[in-house]
Structure 1
Amino acid sequence: MTGKSLSALRAEFPLLQTCTYLNSNSTGAFPRGMEAVLQRYSRTLQEWRDEVWEGWWADWHAYADAVARFIGGPPGSVVTDGNLTTLMGRLATCFDFQGERRRVVMTSLEFPTVPFLWSGFGRYGAEPVVVPSEGGRVNEEQLCAAIDERTRVVSLCHASFATGALIDLTPVVRRAHAVGAQVVVDAYQSVGAVPIDVQALGVDFLLGGAHKWMCGSVESAFLYIRPELLPSLRPAATGWMAAENPLTFEPARDWAPSARRLASGTPAVLPSQLSQVGLDLLNAAGIQTIREHSLRCTARVMARADEAGLPVVTPRADAQRGGVVTMRFAGDAQVARRLVAGGFVCSYRGGLRVAPHFYNTLDEVDRFMDQLVAEARKEAA
């Protein structure tokens, strides 16, 4: 995929005409194709017939399978729902935390929902263990050392929302499986920006969502399940869509054989329809091209930060960072607010986060950094 092709795809994002938007780690730019989906949905509601569900049912499954293909999984291995927390909580009800094997190993870089959720399962016997980070990232050897025969689940982010640090999943998955533990990966901050092949990695479960790097709906998350594990999963927090044959409207006798067994009630179809638009654009760009462009852009951000003396907490090595560069300096929160007010959109989460995507250009990165440096100097004066 050439730069010209990326330039053509950039035209699909109207937001980029109104500001300098480097905030995909918070919310990705929405493609113009979503408007047609919304209009079609509105007409459907105005002309409602129950038969609509035949097409909606197909759309819901088609998007889940499209996500599965995007991350290297087979059809039927992905289920979608409104947010990652809902799916992770439902998945957690499948685990038995009685006996010696009750530990949940995680890192100090997790998004707040993860430790909060697993601490809640303490009432059922779960025992959270947190591996600390150092220098903005977690050492994989230290993480592996915390995984032993007492571990039920390893729950970790692929890329940190706070620092952009990327974890090498391969040794972690190998260690977890060696001691009989299972691995739950939060890929919300990597999927769409970093190539992921769930089958090559051997992860047991991988969660993500559409509204950041996948340029999709804010109400759309997904859960991948390693197919061999499906028959063993019996979620407690479930609903009629998780049944084997829900559309018969008969009492449920068994769970669906696919990842749909982790579904809940009536599905939110519109988020899947909206998110398909962004996923199609990611596929048009190609995930390897996206990754290469991302690395160029984040390298430029770090180089410009170094020139200005602004401390970067994101790991420098390509293999150790996702699509985010985080800087921490005196007055960084105030600088972030002034940047956003001036149309240079970034976000602050304990540090000023810059997140260029495939629809951004190096010229944009430079304009953004020019303004950031000027504001940082003004703050320091």
Structure 2
Amino acid sequence: MRFHCRIIVKKNNIVFTDIDFPAVGQVWLAQDRFKHNFTVIHGHGGIIGITQYEHEISDQTLLTCVPHVSHYNGFQQDLKQIAEIIHQKGSLLFVDAYQSAGHIPINVKDMDIDILAAGTRKYMLGIPGTAFLYIKRELAEQFKPQMTGWFVKDRDSAFELFDSRFAAGAKRFETGTPSFAGLYAADAALKILLEAGTDRIGSYLRKLAGFSLQYAAEKELQIAGPQTVEGRTSLISVYAEDAAGIEAKLRRKNIITSARKDIIRIAPHFYSTKDEMKYAIDEISALLSN
């Protein structure tokens, strides 16, 4: 579906969700142009039903921001289904894939995603300082960058002060000199991921998630998010009153987790094993029972 600038500029509503990573919503809240034109879709137990998009998106919605996967509880959204709904309303779809890229297969064309951003620090096995942006080519040609650098120009090596021509496609949204250390790390990481194959990684982690959920239930732990592998990733979030304290104790046992509000988050990847997940869950159970 093509979107023409003449239509887009008339829209003034931005939609995001309360399961977005906080920084995503904060970006929009900082935009004075849209400060009276936000719609926030609220999840139920950290989960958003597909029908909520049908009800909350209007013909005045310019952009709908959704996370592919919730950073809090591992809830995974059906992007293809969401795209179909919001495109029927005339909205663009922005996807935050930071919590999914690298361990879940993503096909931006099949899912009909308009804009997608991801970083290398998490499941893409890189380090901070490198991010990726995808924009449909026909959309990129319509947008004018609001922040520029010497890489956004049509000829970035020409060093022409008054040359205002932007490069074609998503390249126009690059800025200045990137973090080369981060790029070298990202290149090595991507080679590993491509060799392993995201389809195989996704299949393996789905089985690992099933094991982890079952074992956590046997240990009588309370798991946030979907209770089965349907609609979730292998990220396992265990409710804990003193999440930060438990995270610190686990770290002393060489178990690396993340405390997020009232949960302890375990984020395995293709190199993680059932025995490692069992060990982590056992230790969390022991700490919670003390």
Output the TM-score relative to the length of structure 2. Answer: 0.92
More contact order relative to length (CA 8 Å, sep ≥ 6): 1
User: Are the structure 2 counterparts of residues 96 and 239 from structure 1 closer, same or farther at C-alpha, using a change threshold of 3 Å?
Assistant: farther
| Partner residue in 2 for 1:235 | 145
| Partner residue in 1 for 2:289 | 377
| Residues 1:327 and 2:204 aligned together | no
Query: Which of 195, 213, 217 is 1:302 aligned to?
Result: 213
SS class of match (1:110): coil
| Residues 1:208 and 2:95 aligned together | no
Query: Which of 263, 269, 281 is 1:357 aligned to?
Result: 269
Distance apart, 1:335 and its partner CA: 2.0
Cα separation, 2, equivalents of 1:265 and 1:330 = 44
Query: Which of 99, 107, 116 is 1:197 aligned to?
Result: 107
Mapped contact 1:107–1:133 kept (Cα < 8 A): yes
Alignment RMSD (CA, Å): 1.9
Structure 1: state its 5+ residue gaps.
Answer: 1-93
Counterparts of 1:193-342 in structure 2, within 5 Å, are 193-251=103-161, 252-342=163-253
Distance apart, 1:183 and its partner CA: 0.5
Mapped contact 2:12–2:34 kept (Cα < 8 A): no
Cα separation, 2, equivalents of 1:180 and 1:123 = 20
**Percent identity over the alignment?**
29
User: Are the structure 2 counterparts of residues 266 and 335 from structure 1 closer, same or farther at C-alpha, using a change threshold of 3 Å?
Assistant: closer
Counterparts of 1:1-381 in structure 2, within 5 Å, are 99=10, 101-123=11-33, 127-251=37-161, 252-350=163-261, 351-378=263-290
Cα separation, 2, equivalents of 1:197 and 1:179 = 22
Mapped contact 2:53–2:86 kept (Cα < 8 A): no
User: Are the structure 2 counterparts of residues 149 and 141 from structure 1 closer, same or farther at C-alpha, using a change threshold of 3 Å?
Assistant: same
Distance apart, 1:195 and its partner CA: 0.6
- List 4+ stretches of structure 1 deviating above 4 A: 94-99
Deviates more, 1:191-200 or 1:165-174: 165-174
User: Are the structure 2 counterparts of residues 125 and 307 from structure 1 closer, same or farther at C-alpha, using a change threshold of 3 Å?
Assistant: closer
| Partner residue in 2 for 1:21 | none
Letter in 1 for 2:199: Q
Cα separation, 2, equivalents of 1:96 and 1:280 = 41
Distance apart, 1:95 and its partner CA: 11
Deviations 1:255-299 (A, max 9, x none): 100211001122323311211111111111111111112112222
Letter in 2 for 1:245: R
SS class of match (1:228): helix
Letter in 2 for 1:298: A
User: Are the structure 2 counterparts of residues 111 and 371 from structure 1 closer, same or farther at C-alpha, using a change threshold of 3 Å?
Assistant: same
Distance apart, 1:354 and its partner CA: 0.8
